[in-house]
Amino acid sequence: MLSKAAPQIPVGDGWHYEPKWDGFRCIVFRDGDEIDLASRNERPFTRYFPELLEPLKASLPDRCVVDGEIVLPSADGNGLDFDSLLQRIHPAASRVKRLSAETPACFVAFDILALGDESLMNAPLASRLLHLQRSLAGAEHPIYLTPSTTDVEVARDWFHQFEGAGLDGVIAKRLADVYSPDKRTLVKVKHVRDAECVVAGYRIHKDGKGVGSLLLGLYDGEGKLHHVGVTAAFTVKFRDELLELLEPLTHDALAGHPWADWANAMAHENARLPGATSRWNAKKDLSWVPLRIERVVEVTFGQLQNGRFRHGVQFQNWRPDRTPASCTYDQLDVATPVAFEDLMAVDSDRPAD
């Protein structure tokens, strides 16, 4: 099941609300001692998260299919750590083994698709939740049942209270709905904030024509410019306009550029500078064109995590009235950190027997 965005949490009878997790969507297939983890698009996850296999065996029924999310709680108690979760996808078995001990993940279940020989996909969500609750009644860390509620006021409270836990927002589901793969039957309400950022470079679109994305930067308190993300998804017309508009800023751009060491591959990996190899697609071209530090852009974003924007960074306007030096982290309204354990300890509605 997929979600579609909405500006507000839907209200009315028959709605069920859950946190929107910031992790890897994962379907767990269990058949006796065999457990397979896969993404919604059937990308295999099993080898990357060996620390979840035995806990899943101890927590799940002998034969079942469960839908949920792999998340990674931050070691410092500041909610979820998506950057560390990304590091878990690595081809080297030795690294996978080491990271499974150093940065262990958790699995949060929110639906069940099959139990024993019975498919539950055509059962309403209310019925599936009953089966899920009973199936995970004995689950222990690192396996969890997601908090959930039918009270919209509780959902609104979660939306604001748990943003600091690294959640994307709130998901609303209809209790009468069957499980519909690849259909956008869920409603997601996400956090939206704005920021004014330095435009320090751009990448050419994958089709080779026009600007595909703008590289964004913010200054810290010591005057260092950090790469905080990109804004993209431009129209074909705007991609061409950007290429022409930014061309004068490419002249002598590396002279004194704060990211001039971008060609150093080690610097890319450690400092999260642009130009590094994509962890998901080694063939993806992440080369970029540096610009003189003169332009400021206003963008909207969902959340800030480890000094970088997460999800949905959207171009809004150019800000010729702002200087690059004014684009600092201090402008951002950052949510108060909330520990993963505190989030999982909240009271939830439970279906009646």
Go through the chain and tell me how many residues it has.
353
Q: What are residue 85's phi and psi, to 5 degrees?
A: -65, -40
20 is catalytic: yes
130, amino acid identity:
L
Contacts of 119-122 with CB under 8 Å at 24 or more apart are 120/179, 121/178, 121/179, 121/181, 122/178, 122/179
Per-residue tokens: 332: 């951002």
What values do phi and psi take at 56, rounded to 5? -65, -40
The DSSP bridge pattern shows strands 303-305 and 143-145 to be unpaired
CA–CA distances in Å: residue 310 to residues 11, 87, 123, 300, 303 = 27, 16, 34, 11, 5
Q: Which two tokens stand for residue 295?
A: 């332009």
CA gap 182, 164 in Å, rounded: 30
CA 40 remoteness from chain centre? 15
Would you tell me how many other CB atoms lie within 10 Å of the CB of residue 305? 19
Q: Which amino acid is at 58?
A: A
Burial class (CB in 10 A: 0-12, 13-18, 19+), 261: middle
Among candidate residues 20, 188, 206, 209, the one labeled active-site is 20
Q: What letter would DSSP give residue 179?
A: P
Q: How far apart are CA 321 and CA 340, in angstroms?
A: 40
C-alpha separations of 172 from 22, 77, 151, 167, 219 in Å: 16, 27, 11, 14, 37
Tell me the catalytic residues: 20
